[in-house]
């Protein structure tokens, strides 16, 4: 299945039905009077967050969505039926924006959440609505109002607790495969990961978290080099970032060069993303050079007060400690969010 995380679609809500002009004419009923019914309202275009979906692929091939038109009113005070709503299912984590002005219409963050993105037109009133003491036989009706028409930009942001970032070929895919049931493509050449991968990691008793692995970043990604940083949106909702380094290729002159380069790209993309809590993980300590460099890295990050963990995603060394450390940082992040909500009076 193709991973599609951005599409543009057109939506058209249903027009309202027109009101009816009718007069009651029945045997033995003199002066029957007006009995024209109202037109039905047009159907809405509704988006609903479906937890079974993981991509916007369906919206890629159907670009126009129309809701049903309201039924016209009839005589004998019969009101028209409401037009049928058009329901569009999208993955949880979808953001809907108006393409004309960039206004955010919805952020479908909760499974089953529904939002009306285009409202149907109101139905017109029939002549029975216009009866008054001075006008007993009105010949006035209203047409239905047109439904809203919009161009929408749909963007998917995956929901994960933890995001794995780093340069290409540092072992991100190997790590997510080692700690979860995810099975991403793994190879010894750059940019083997072309789309984000999600995995569920169990730790402790009855505890788990969702981890996202995104394609590798390189210096200059903000200018579109490599795969660019278009996939960074998928870790923008995370609580903790795992910054993965290849300990076997650390520079002796500048051991933190790779770490600084990636953090600079995060800052250029979104300062809020760069400010998220990080755990620096030195991978490939199963290699002689990696184990030797991991000690140097540990000292460097300890002096900065940044959590550090040395692992081998291939042999499994250090993975239990890493999962424990992630659990601690996630609990701290939840506590901080709770305190922020209390301070805000939520």
Last residue of some domain: 112, 127, 156? 156
Question: What is residue 206's predicted lDDT score, i.e. its pLDDT?
Answer: 72
* Mean pLDDT confidence for 231-252: 86
Name residue 100's beta-bridge partners.
none
Question: Residue 39 pLDDT more than 70?
Answer: yes
CATH code of the domain in which 45 resides: 2.70.210.12
Of 19-33, 81-95, 294-308, minimum mean pLDDT range: 19-33
Question: What is residue 146's predicted lDDT score, i.e. its pLDDT?
Answer: 97
Question: What is residue 137's predicted lDDT score, i.e. its pLDDT?
Answer: 87
Question: What is residue 28's predicted lDDT score, i.e. its pLDDT?
Answer: 77
CA distances from 184 to 119, 145, 253 (A): 41, 51, 34
Q: What is the pTM of this model?
A: 0.76
Last residue of some domain: 105, 136, 156? 156
Take residue 36 and report the two structure tokens written for it.
């024209």
For residue range 255-268, list pLDDT tens digits in order. Answer: 888 899 888 888 88
Residue span of the structural domain in which 60 resides? 6-156
* Mean pLDDT confidence for 285-306: 89
Count of structural domains, the chain: 2
pLDDT averaged over every residue in the chain: 85
- 94-98 and 149-156: which strand pairing? antiparallel
Q: How far is CA 262 from the centre of its chain?
A: 24
- Which residue carries 């081998």 as its tokens? 312
- 86-91 and 104-108: which strand pairing? unpaired
Does 208 share its domain with 223?
A: yes
Asked whether the beta carbons of 43 and 17 are under 8 A apart, the reply is no
pLDDT > 90 fraction of the chain, expressed in percent and rounded: 43
Q: Which residue has the higher pLDDT, 54 or 10?
A: 10
Last residue of some domain: 124, 156, 188? 156
Question: What is residue 194's predicted lDDT score, i.e. its pLDDT?
Answer: 54
Question: Residue 49 pLDDT more than 70?
Answer: yes
Question: What is residue 242's predicted lDDT score, i.e. its pLDDT?
Answer: 92
Take residue 189 and report the two structure tokens written for it.
């050449």
CATH code of the domain in which 307 resides: 3.40.50.300
Does 47 share its domain with 15?
A: yes
The per-residue b/e assignment along 192-221, b for 16 or more CB within 10 angstroms, e otherwise, is: bbebbbbbebebeeeeebbbbbbbbbbbeb
Binning pLDDT at 50, 70 and 90, where does residue 227 land? low
| Closest by CA position to 90, among listed 46, 124, 134 | 46
| Closest by CA position to 13, among listed 80, 64, 79 | 64
Question: What is residue 283's predicted lDDT score, i.e. its pLDDT?
Answer: 92
């Amino acid at each position: 299945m193709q991973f599609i995380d951005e599409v543009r679609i057109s939506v058209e809500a249903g027009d309202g039905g027109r009101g009816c002009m009718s007069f009651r004419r029945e045997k033995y009923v003199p002066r029957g009077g007006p009995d024209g019914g109202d037109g039905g309202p047009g159907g809405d275009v509704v988006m609903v967050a479906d937890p079974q979906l993981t991509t916007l692929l369906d919206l890629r091939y159907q670009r126009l969505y129309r809701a049903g038109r309201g039924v016209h009113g009839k005589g004998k005070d019969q009101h028209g039926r409401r037009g049928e709503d058009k329901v569009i299912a999208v993955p949880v984590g979808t953001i809907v924006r108006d393409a004309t002005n960039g206004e955010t219409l919805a952020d479908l963050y909760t499974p089953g959440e529904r939002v009306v993105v285009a409202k149907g037109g109101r139905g017109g009133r029939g002549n029975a609505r216009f009866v008054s003491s001075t006008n007993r036989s009105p010949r006035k009706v209203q047409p239905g109002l047109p439904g809203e028409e919009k161009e929408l930009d749909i963007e998917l942001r995956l929901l994960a607790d933890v995001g794995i970032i780093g340069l290409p070929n540092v072992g991100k895919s190997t790590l997510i495969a080692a700690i979860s049931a995810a099975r991403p493509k793994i190879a010894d050449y750059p940019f083997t990961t072309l789309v984000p991968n999600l995995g569920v990691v169990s730790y402790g008793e009855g505890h788990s978290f969702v981890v996202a692995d995104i394609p590798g970043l390189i210096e200059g990604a903000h200018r579109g080099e490599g795969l660019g940083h278009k996939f960074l949106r998928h870790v923008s909702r995370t609580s903790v970032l795992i910054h993965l380094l290849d300990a076997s290729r650390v520079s002796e002159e500048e051991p933190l060069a790779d770490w600084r380069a990636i953090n600079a790209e995060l800052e250029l993309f979104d300062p809020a993303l760069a400010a998220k809590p990080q755990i620096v993980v030195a991978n490939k300590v199963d290699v002689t050079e990696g184990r030797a460099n991991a000690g140097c890295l540990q000292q460097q990050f300890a002096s900065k007060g940044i959590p550090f963990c040395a692992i081998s995603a291939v042999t499994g060394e250090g993975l239990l400690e890493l999962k424990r450390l992630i659990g601690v940082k996630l609990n701290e992040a939840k506590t901080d969010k709770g305190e922020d909500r209390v301070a805000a009076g939520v």
